[in-house]
Amino acid sequence: MADLSINFNGIKSPNPFWLASAPPSNSGYQVQKAFEAGWGGAVWKTVGAPVMNVCNRYGTIDYKGRKIIGLNNVELISDRPLDVNLKEMRETKKNFPNHAVIASVMVESKKEAWQEIIKRIEDTGVDGFELNFGCPHGMSERGMGSAMGQVPEYTCMVTEWVMEVATKPVIVKLTPNVTDIVHPARAAVKANASAISLINTINSIMGVDLDTFEIRPNVGGKGGHGGYAGPAVKPIALHLLSSVASDEEVRKAGIPISGMGGVETWQDAVEFMLLGSTSVQVCTAVMHFGFRVVEDMIDGMSNWMDERGFKNCTDFIGASLPRISSFGDFDLGFQSVARIDHNKCIQCNLCFIACNDTAHQCIDLKDMKLTDEVKERLWPVVREEDCVGCALCASVCPVDDCITMTEIDTGRPHITWNQLIKEKPEVLQWDKMVEYREKNHIHIH
């Protein structure tokens, strides 16, 4: 069986699955129960400045009968007194010496405040810290959380204060609510952070009640932006993760990344790891189903690794990063066309109407005489020479593997956009572009 244990810049964990700093890791009772269920580590619910919470903290989005595709919250950091949290961290670490216990911290922007709390927490024996520069509501209005994370200079400054006193690894947790996440990531690197984690929640409003005009979640008749998480945010998280993981400065620093945002299954976790996460954190999926979801995460990942002959997580962490590129470097000569398997097609015509109304009108409905029915329903047939290979039809087709985007060789030059405009800058004029296409038999109708 594969070995799932990881070494996260000195923080050792029996597997890469950590509870994210959030309600599931609110207390010693919960974290220890989670460890018993199989979680490898937990980032404690953020401790720090005193707070007061409100009621109706969560709003969720259901999608066509499936509950909680996304969850937002207007919850603050831990509202339990610091001493209680510290006592329970100590007890948890004592009972589970081989699991990763990480304290998430957020205090006001004062050097003494940060340094004092770090020292007090370190005394409990925790394995490391996570600096919460991401909370987008409540705390940010008080100059904490994402208010720090959105200004790289602040991120760098506070991290430096912490690094001065911390003897345990320090993870900087980034907010997605920025224009380019690479800047705060570099700020963390600059301050010598031991690791980076991302993403915290995304600013959002969950919805409006059509009867009462109230905002969801409703807090006594009012509502406001809250942090969005859960399966719906995964593509955003993967993008931000890959930007940070493939950034030159971050790579040079060689520090690990803990990824999160929408992880619900072992497959999600593998994707995060292929894009450079060493550990993955989970909050919403645990809030939906309980700590027990980790059993399948461990089992599924380990079976997947066995099937591929991977012995350790390091065998595949970051394996997809070399594939992360950008538009200017994509091959303009790579061409695919849609092929329909009429043995599988159930004749719903969704591909036809999608292509006809919203793509390139290259699917026809034809009489194919594929059955012995006298009045046979017409079949969708792709006019391959007109197909631009957008993959919309394959996306809407309800039958697995019925429409395959098939790579073909048309003899188009294999050149990237960047190379093209360097070699032939004139194509930036429409007439020259048309000329270039004609010369290379590229027809777009």
Partner 1 sequence: MAEHYKPVKYKAWEMNLEERFQEVFPPLTEREAVLEANRCLYCYDAPCMVACPTHIDIPTFIRKISTGNVTGSARTIMEANLMGASCARVCPVQELCEGACVLEHDEKPIMIGRLQRYAMDYADEKKIKFFNKGKSLGKKVAVVGAGPAGLTCAGELAKMGFEVTCYERKMWPGGLSTYGIVVFREPVEVARAEAKKIEDLGVTMKTGVTIGEDIQFDQLLKDNDAVFVSIGLGSVPNMDIPGEDLEGVVDGLEFIEETKVKPLCDIKYGNRICVIGAGNTAIDCATIARRLGSERVTMIYRRSEAEMPAYHFEYQFALGEGVSFSFLTQPVEVLSNNGKVDGLKCVRMDLGEPDESGRRVAVPVPNSEFVVPCDMVIKAIGQLKHTPFIAKLGEYGIKTVKGYIAVDSKTNRTAHEKIFAGGDCIRSKGEASTVMATQDGKIAARAIYEQLTGNKIPEGTLKRSTDMTIEPAMEKGYALHEHKPRVHATAPTK
Ligand X SMILES: Cc1cc2nc3c(=O)[nH]c(=O)nc-3n(C[C@H](O)[C@H](O)[C@H](O)COP(=O)(O)O)c2cc1C
Say how far apart CA 426 and CA 432 lie, in whole Å: 6
Residue 46 binding result from ligand X, ligand SF4, partner 1, none, given CB thresholds of 5 to 8 Å by partner type: ligand X
Residue number, 208 or 399, with CB nearest to partner 1 = 399
Q: How far apart are CA 199 and CA 181, in angstroms?
A: 10
| Binding positions for ligand X, 174-203, rule CB under 6 A | 200-201
Q: Number of residues in contact with partner 1, rule: CB under 8 A? A: 48
Residue 441 touches which of ligand SF4, partner 1, ligand X, none (Cβ within 5-8 Å per kind):
partner 1
In 10 A of CB 56, how many CB atoms?
12
Contact assessment for residue 64 and residue 125, using Cβ atoms and an 8 Å cutoff: no
Candidate list 15, 27, 60, 73; residue touching ligand X; CB under 6 A: 73
Q: Where are the beta strands (DSSP E) in 156-265?
A: 170-173, 195-198, 202-204, 207-208, 215-216, 226-229, 257-260
Comparing CA positions, the residue from 346, 340, 343 lying closest to residue 364 is 340
d(CA 92, CA 145): 26
- 232 within 8 A of 61, measured Cβ to Cβ: yes
By CB under 6 A, residue 345 contacts ligand SF4? yes
In terms of CB distance, is 216 or 383 closer to partner 1?
A: 383
Q: What is the largest CA-CA distance in the chain?
A: 85
- Contact between 197 and 173 under an 8 Å Cβ cutoff? The reply is yes
- Coil, strand or helix: which one is 174? coil
DSSP tag of 175: P
Instruction: Name which position in 307, 357, 374, 375 contacts partner 1 (CB under 8 A).
Output: 307
Q: Looking at 24-32, 44-52, 185-193, 369-377, which segment touches partner 1 (CB under 8 A)?
A: 369-377
How many Cα atoms within 13 Å fall on the side-chain side of residue 365?
13
Our finding on whether 411 is near partner 1 (CB under 8 A) is yes
Minimum gap (Å) between residue 264 Cβ and ligand SF4? 17
Backbone φ and ψ of 381, nearest 5°? -130, 130
Q: Catalytic annotation on 156?
A: no
Question: Among ligand X, partner 1, ligand SF4, none, what binds residue 340 when CB lies within 5 to 8 Å by partner kind?
Answer: ligand SF4
Q: Give kind and range of the element (H or E) at residue 424.
A: none
- Three-state secondary-structure class, residue 27: coil
Q: What angle do CA 284, 286, 292 make, to 5 degrees?
A: 160
441 scored as a contact of partner 1 (CB under 8 A): yes
Residue count, binding to ligand X (CB under 6 A)? 29
- Least distance between ligand X and beta carbon 82 (Å): 14
What mask, x for binding ligand X by CB under 6 A, covers residues 97 to 116? Answer: -------x------------
Smallest separation (angstroms) from partner 1 to the CB of 208: 28
Q: Measured between alpha carbons, how far is 380 from 366 in angstroms, rounded to an integer? A: 6
Pairing of strands 403-408, 335-340: antiparallel
Q: Do residues 215 and 224 lie in contact, with contact meaning Cβ atoms separated by under 8 Å?
A: yes
> Which residues are paired to 215 by β-bridges?
208
**Least CB distance to ligand SF4 at residue 140 (A):** 24
Binding range to ligand X, per CB under 6 A, among 3-11, 255-263, 334-342, 343-351: 255-263
Site for partner 1 in 30-89 (CB under 8 A): 66
346 touches ligand SF4 by CB under 6 A:
yes
Min dist. Cβ of residue 21 to ligand SF4 (A): 19
Question: Which amino acid is present at 307?
Answer: E
Rounded to whole angstroms, the Cα distance separating 233 from 259 reads: 12
- Residue 124's SS3 state is coil
Q: Using the rule CB under 6 A, is 349 a contact of ligand SF4?
A: yes
* Phi-psi label, residue 441: left if phi above 0, alpha if psi -120 to 50, beta otherwise: left
Examine residue 340 and tell whether it contacts ligand SF4 (CB under 6 A).
Answer: yes
| Choice from 2, 4, 11, 22 touching ligand X (CB under 6 A) | 22
Q: Binding partner 1 by CB under 8 A: which of 81, 290, 328, 413?
A: 290
Interacting residue ranges for partner 1, rule: CB under 8 A: 1, 66, 265-267, 274, 289-290, 292-293, 295-296, 299-300, 303-304, 306-310, 315-316, 319-320, 322-323, 337, 342-346, 370-373, 384-385, 400, 406-411, 441, 443
Interacting residue ranges for ligand X, rule: CB under 6 A: 20-23, 45-46, 71, 73, 75, 77, 104, 132, 134-135, 173, 200-201, 227, 229-230, 233, 260-263, 282-285
Catalytic residue set: 135
Interacting residue ranges for ligand SF4, rule: CB under 6 A: 340, 345-351, 380, 396-397, 399, 402-403
